[in-house]
Amino acid sequence: MNTIRWEMSAEAIEQESFRLIEQEYGSHEHLPPEEWRVIRRLIHTTADISIADSLYLHDSPVTAGLAALRSGCNIICDSSMIRSGLSLPRLQKVFPQYTNENIVCCIHDADVIARARHEGRTRALCAAEKVRPLLEGSIVLVGNAPLALARIARYILEENVRPALVIAMPVGFVNVIESKALIMRCSVPQIVLNGRRGGSALAVATLHAITENA
């Protein structure tokens, strides 16, 4: 049995984790360095090397995301878990113009709840429709609701809306694979986790990893 290394600092543990990830993953010279940092962070978050094979990175998403963050774009979240998980101090360290007002999540808004109840639809879908005026130039994080992702994809395909970046990682069994396939038809910068896997923690980790490239 391996000996627990009690004396290691948090920074040392992270660096040792990255060393082991690079050792197990093998050569990554074919990947742009900024994209490898995102992939490595997601492997670190899941402790799963194979997650790299399920990631789809399209149209220089890290570069596009950084440009949008430098402009002070809105960050639109499909769930309160993403909203809570995003570190404002971490963002402000690199992009000091950010405030809580830049991070948008409508899932608990009274009008969204009322509309969802009245129309018999999900709150996530109604929230995605509410943020339609904010989508242009924003970063969109979806870690929970595939219907929200599908609605945003339709805005892109049918109304030529152009978010700066879509991080598409809804999790589950219903509408998940289909919504990811739909967003991958869109010609916008995006990072998609194929298959049923996903979750708010992975969407948050992806955006945090992008900021590491600033």
Q: Taking a C-beta distance cutoff of 8 angstroms, is the pair 149, 183 a contact?
A: yes
CA distances from 133 to 128, 137, 138, 186 (A): 10, 10, 10, 18
Nearest to 201 by CA among 169, 160, 175: 169
Residue with tokens 């995605």: 128
44 a catalytic residue: yes
Laid out side by side, the sheet with 190-193 consists of 55-58, 190-193, 165-168, 139-142, 75-77, 103-104
CA distance 24 to 11: 20
Whether the Cβ atoms of residue 170 and residue 180 lie closer than 8 Å to each other: yes
Marked catalytic residue, from 44, 58, 108, 118:
44
On whether the CB atoms of residues 95 and 72 are closer than 8 A, the answer is yes
User: What positions carry a catalytic annotation?
Assistant: 44
